[in-house]
Chain A
Amino acid sequence: MARRGKIPATKYPVERFTLENGLRVVLTPDRSAPVVGVAVVYDVGIRSEPEGRTGFAHLFEHLMFQGSENLEKLAHFRHVQGSGGTFNGSTHLDFTDYFEVLPAGALERALFLEADRMRGPRLTEENLLNQIDVVKEEIRVNVLNRPYGGFPWLKLPPVMFSTFPNAHDGYGSFGDLDSATVDDAKAFFDRYYASGNATLAVAGDFDVADATAMIQRHFGDVPARPAPPLPDFDEPAPDAERRDVYTDRLAPLPGVASAWRVPDPIAGFDEYLPYVVLAEVLTDGEASRLVERLVQRDRSVTSIGGYIGFMGDEFQVRNPTALLLQAHMPPGGDAEKVLRTVDEELDRLVHDGLAPGELERTQARIATHLLRDTDAVLGRALPMAVLELQRGRPELLNELPKLVGEVTEAQIVTAAAALRPDRRATVEVLPGAAQ
């Protein structure tokens, strides 16, 4: 066995507590730079939006920036940026996050802003119509007006999944977006944006006692509302290969993406983790299996990537989810041939195992990626808020490099053996643009 390099770890301290209203709080102080990151995460995402309201979770995220109890429209943005900070929010399959990064002296202001909208956003007809327009432009710029828009994150779920929560378009149809009402938004807030359905994480340059007092001061009087029951979105995995193909009128080159169901990322974490490593063994860099074979040797693809979770958020997604491979091919490329080669390479991995050092170097590189992400205050606040929300284990962020380093060759082989053609969902994109 090759000598195992030492994988370093971070030791960010983690303080957890729950307010009387049910809000779960994570504090992770680190005074190495005078900045703080604040993240509030609600346990609702694309999978929870009702039929006929595709895109609603994301539209609602926009509405959370349109003013709240003590804040006019535009005030949130101005207060964050006027404090020297930045902000954003994003809607995922299983959660919606809101966050700020600011100079340390603006921490209390950020907590005030988040608490104010947790008590209630200003949901008006005018703001709703304005943000429907903005979201449509977002969809146009990211999906409709560019080549490969939504490939594969919007194109593959309907091939792989059968139930509405898992299969539908999370950006939403323009028809559904146009049908959204203020009452829908009020009901969505009442049901999902409850203090008991949220977590708050603060990372960076602060004193724990001070921050705790500030959090009590601002979030303590947010009305207590319980979390709705956590839905189970599981559905049977495909028992035969599923395929779809479409033409992208803007795309100059063909592409193909495949996905395979993986174990439950939370309940089956030990069985799930090897797939995270496998994705990198297959596609991370020029020395990875599929890049070496498909890009360098066969030249049958121009680029190939592999990851877990349709939004690439492997430690922030619930069951069911998938390992994805996506490739762009040269002109005239043959998706069938690419898939056959992938199968061949997976077979080879299953039968011959890994080369000496292959696992260790992949684990070392994953460790670098994980550690690098945590160097930013937001790279700690956001994942810790989600890990608290989904697992009650924010400290897992510190442990991931080590846990990745403990994955064994046998586990990788077992994972690779499960990526069979008959469990695969594939979508092909054909070039519709003049070459």
Chain B
Amino acid sequence: MTTKKLPDLVPDAKLKLPKQAERSLPGGLTVIAIRRTSVPLVELRLRVPFSKAPLPRATLLSQALFTGTGAMSSVDIAAELQSVGGGLSAGLDPDRLLITGNALATGLDRMLEILAAVLTDPAYPNAEVATERDRLVDHINVALSQPAHIARTALLKRMYGNHPYAVQTPEPEQVRAVRPAALRSLHADRVRPEGAVLVLVGDISPEKAIDAAEKALGSWTGPGRDESLPATPPLEPGPLLLVDRPGAVQSSLRMALPALPRTDPQYAALSLANMIFGGYFSSRWVENMREDKGYTYGPHTAIEHYLAGSSLMVAAEVATEVTGPSLLETLYELGRIASLPPGEDELEQARRYALGTLRLGMSTQAGLAGLASMYASFGLRLEHLREHSAALATATREQVAEVAAKFLAPTQAVTVVLGDAEKVAAPLSALTQVVRGTA
């Protein structure tokens, strides 16, 4: 067996941003169009500010948005979109209503016309809304049986207390009580162009695509509502919250730690600290928990951003019998990164991963559309990638150590474990104070 040498990397070319254009329409809608001609398609993302909208109504609205317009039934809408290779769907997060779609590039005009009809002339027909309401209740009931959902629900409550972010899924009974008229009035009140951003990416001419959007959506007008939320409260670390799931063969271990918004000067250093701790496969926590101990399959951490605050989320599903030891390793790795500066090699590795995956994320129409839309909803543009890349490229060990000490210290963590309490309470109590609770 001969020893072979690992080939060197060819340095990356300078970051190249795609051709793009932007226009604010008189009605208040911002349109961003980006050219990537790789496949003859177009991606669409529309984000409409939606914070403080009543959760059951807003959730059902997102489920029922395409149930009909003055001239089209839900089947008409779907069939018309299909005929240009298109599809549209809607979702909700605590800050925004998000419409996602794509079509053959030749179908852009038609997709925009249909979108405009849905936005400006919604019908919310009683029968269709009733069907979507039942489906949503079924969907929520399935979610309520999933450990990842139950654990997240419990964690959000602990993190956010009385802040609106604390509850992100409505109760089935609340959804059952929503009437079509309530959707119509919520739509009239909140599905407005002011503050909304439409992103189009694909085999398009950016200026012409914006013209098409202006033509189709010119009639979408009306004032938005400034409903910005108060900043999220600081996390209040306390005893570990243990939620019982009798008979569970795995425990869902969740932690929330404080974090910084994308625009903070220290954000790049914090992203790197997160990477080194648990934010990618070759991180300390993943290598320890999975590749050394075999406690878990897919442990992961990520910084989650909402308009009113950011947090660093830690998640692992671990075998019931190693729940205590898993918490031990997690506390150890958090303590280690909060107490000691990272090695030069591991910082370089994390840095290259962060810089490289930025490029991977920009390499498809869908990736660009998601990125541009997400950035835009935080008031940023794709150009922010240059600034962020430069910050990632220059962050030092000292800077990473400084933010890690501040944000990744285990004493800062809000911790929730969902699992078979009879089996895991004692091992967890050996490590930290435990309180029982419900999701």
Chain A bound to chain B: yes
Q: Which A residues contact B (CB, under 8 angstroms)? A: 5-6, 8, 10, 30, 32-35, 69-70, 73-74, 77-79, 81-87, 101-106, 108-109, 111-112, 116, 129-138, 140-141, 144-148, 214, 249-253, 284-288, 292, 295-296, 299, 302-303, 328, 330-331, 357, 360-362, 364-365, 367-368, 371-372, 374-377, 433, 435
Dominant SS among interface residues on chain A: mixed
Partner of A137, one of B148, B250, B348: B250
Give residues 12-41 of B contacting A (CB, 8 Å). 12-13, 16, 36-41
Give residues 295-311 of B contacting A (CB, 8 Å). 295-298
Asked if A10 and B39 make an inter-chain contact with CB atoms under 8 angstroms apart, the answer reads yes
| Chain A residues within 8 Å of B359, by CB | 33-35, 84, 103
Q: Is B212 an interface residue (CB 8 A)?
A: no
Known: A73-B291, A81-B349, A145-B317. A365 touches B249 (CB 8 A): no
Partner of B84, one of A105, A108, A364, A372: A364
Asked if B9 and A83 make an inter-chain contact with CB atoms under 8 angstroms apart, the answer reads yes
Q: Among B131-139, B221-229, B380-388, which stretch is in contact with chain A?
A: B131-139
| Chain B residues within 8 Å of A145, by CB | 147, 248-250, 317
How far in angstroms is the closest Cβ of chain B from A412?
A: 15
Complex Cα distance, B317 from A138, in Å, reads 9
Q: Among B70-78, B90-98, B328-336, B407-415, which stretch is in contact with chain A?
A: B70-78
**Which of A5, A82, A303, A357 is most buried by chain B, counting CB atoms within 10 A of its CB?**
A82
| Chain B residues within 8 Å of A5, by CB | 83-84
| Chain A residues within 8 Å of B78, by CB | 285-288
Complex Cα distance, B143 from A256, in Å, reads 18
Q: Is B285 an interface residue (CB 8 A)?
A: no
Asked if B294 and A375 make an inter-chain contact with CB atoms under 8 angstroms apart, the answer reads no
Known: A33-B38, A82-B349, A137-B317. A361 touches B145 (CB 8 A): no
Q: Is B186 an interface residue (CB 8 A)?
A: no
Complex Cα distance, B11 from A77, in Å, reads 20
Known: A252-B145, A286-B74. A295 touches B135 (CB 8 A): yes
Instruction: Give how many A-B residue pairs fall within 8 Å (CB-CB).
Output: 241
Q: Is B56 an interface residue (CB 8 A)?
A: no
Sorted from nearest, which 6 A-B pairs have the closest CB atoms? A84-B356, A133-B294, A105-B10, A287-B78, A33-B363, A368-B85
Asked if A302 and B135 make an inter-chain contact with CB atoms under 8 angstroms apart, the answer reads yes
Asked if A86 and B6 make an inter-chain contact with CB atoms under 8 angstroms apart, the answer reads no
Between-chain CB contacts (< 8 Å), 20 pairs: A32-B37, A73-B291, A81-B353, A86-B357, A105-B9, A109-B6, A137-B297, A138-B298, A140-B319, A141-B298, A286-B78, A302-B138, A302-B139, A328-B138, A331-B138, A361-B83, A364-B104, A365-B87, A375-B38, A377-B363
| Chain A residues within 8 Å of B248, by CB | 145
How far in angstroms is the closest Cβ of chain A from B215?
A: 22
Interface residue total, chain B, C-beta cutoff 8 A:
86
Asked if B318 and A137 make an inter-chain contact with CB atoms under 8 angstroms apart, the answer reads yes
| Chain B residues within 8 Å of A433, by CB | 145
Complex Cα distance, B41 from A376, in Å, reads 13
| Chain B residues within 8 Å of A296, by CB | 74-75, 128, 131
Asked if A287 and B141 make an inter-chain contact with CB atoms under 8 angstroms apart, the answer reads no
Complex Cα distance, B290 from A129, in Å, reads 12
Give residues 249-264 of B contacting A (CB, 8 Å). 249-250
Partner of B4, one of A87, A112, A361, A375: A112
Known: A81-B282, A296-B131, A372-B41. A365 touches B10 (CB 8 A): no
Q: Is B3 an interface residue (CB 8 A)?
A: yes
Partner of B131, one of A10, A141, A299: A299
How far in angstroms is the closest Cβ of chain B from A177?
A: 12
Complex Cα distance, B42 from A375, in Å, reads 11
How far in angstroms is the closest Cβ of chain B from A364?
A: 4
How far in angstroms is the closest Cβ of chain B from A144?
A: 5
Q: Is B142 an interface residue (CB 8 A)?
A: yes
Asked if A30 and B75 make an inter-chain contact with CB atoms under 8 angstroms apart, the answer reads no
Partner of A86, one of B105, B106, B360: B360
As a 0/1 sequence over residues 215 to 244 of chain B, the CB contacts with chain A under 8 angstroms (1 = contact) are 000000000000000000000000000000
Asked if B40 and A8 make an inter-chain contact with CB atoms under 8 angstroms apart, the answer reads yes
As a 0/1 sequence over residues 81 to 118 of chain B, the CB contacts with chain A under 8 angstroms (1 = contact) are 11111110000000000000011111100000000000
Complex Cα distance, B89 from A284, in Å, reads 13
Q: Is B168 an interface residue (CB 8 A)?
A: no
Known: A34-B13, A435-B141. A82 touches B298 (CB 8 A): no
Asked if A134 and B290 make an inter-chain contact with CB atoms under 8 angstroms apart, the answer reads yes
**Which of B105, B249, B365 is most buried by chain A, counting CB atoms within 10 A of its CB?**
B249
| Chain B residues within 8 Å of A361, by CB | 79, 82-83
Q: Is B391 an interface residue (CB 8 A)?
A: no
| Chain B residues within 8 Å of A375, by CB | 38-39, 41, 364-366
Asked if A35 and B360 make an inter-chain contact with CB atoms under 8 angstroms apart, the answer reads yes
Asked if B66 and A286 make an inter-chain contact with CB atoms under 8 angstroms apart, the answer reads yes
Question: What residue in chain A is nearest B247 (Cβ atoms)?
Answer: A249
| Chain A residues within 8 Å of B295, by CB | 133, 137
Complex Cα distance, B138 from A74, in Å, reads 43
Complex Cα distance, B79 from A288, in Å, reads 8
Question: What residue in chain B is nearest A83 (Cβ atoms)?
Answer: B9
Question: What residue in chain A is nearest B356 (Cβ atoms)?
Answer: A84
Partner of B250, one of A73, A82, A141, A147: A141
Asked if A140 and B250 make an inter-chain contact with CB atoms under 8 angstroms apart, the answer reads yes
| Chain A residues within 8 Å of B290, by CB | 134
Question: What residue in chain B is nearest A204 (Cβ atoms)?
Answer: B363
